[in-house]
């Protein structure tokens, strides 16, 4: 059993991500369900639900448009569209250079070529970030 953990310790990270995503989905479902139950309680009493409650329901139904009006994001949630592609370009360029250097010059992967493949993958992501940074800055200037 100890050997199994020693060989596959890295699987803890994807498993933790799956558990976290599942818990987040469960909490989102419960929040949506409780909002609907509260609206139903208002309707059963014959009252009009508050507009803030209806807005909350609309936001939970379309999470990609939650902060389209420029409002502040709650703790733990990022604003959509607030990605800085220039910093991503710099980050992935440095990662690509590090992996390519470690694989080619230092031969840290034992000649298997794994670091070279990772380096080229990071370079492709850096190129994608560069394209996004250039075109998004052009669209903001208009």
Contact 100, 116 (CB under 8 A): yes
CA 38 to chain centre: 30
Contact 15, 5 (CB under 8 A): no
pTM value?
Answer: 0.45
pLDDT digits (tens, 9 = 90+) for 18-73: 999 999 999 989 999 999 999 999 999 999 988 888 888 887 766 554 444 444 45
Spans of all domains in the chain = 11-65, 85-141
Alpha carbons 63 and 54: distance in angstroms, whole number: 14
Please give the mean pLDDT across all residues of the chain.
82
pLDDT digits (tens, 9 = 90+) for 87-140: 999 999 999 999 999 988 888 888 888 999 999 999 999 999 999 999 886 666
CB neighbour class for 100 (10 Å; exposed up to 12, middle 13-18, buried from 19): middle
């Amino acid at each position: 059993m100890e050997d199994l953990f020693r060989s596959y310790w890295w699987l803890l990270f994807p498993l933790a991500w799956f558990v976290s995503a599942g818990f987040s989905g469960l909490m989102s479902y419960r929040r949506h369900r409780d909002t609907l139950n509260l609206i139903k309680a208002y309707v059963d009493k014959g009252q009009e639900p508050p507009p803030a409650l209806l807005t909350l329901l609309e936001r939970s139904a379309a999470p990609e448009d939650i902060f389209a009006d420029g409002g502040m994001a709650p703790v733990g949630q990022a604003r959509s569209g607030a990605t800085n592609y220039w910093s991503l370009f710099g980050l992935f360029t440095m990662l690509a250079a590090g992996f390519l250097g470690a694989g080619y010059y230092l031969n840290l992967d034992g000649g298997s070529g794994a670091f070279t493949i990772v380096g080229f993958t990071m370079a492709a992501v850096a190129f994608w970030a560069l394209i996004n940074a250039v075109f998004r800055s052009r669209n903001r200037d208009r």
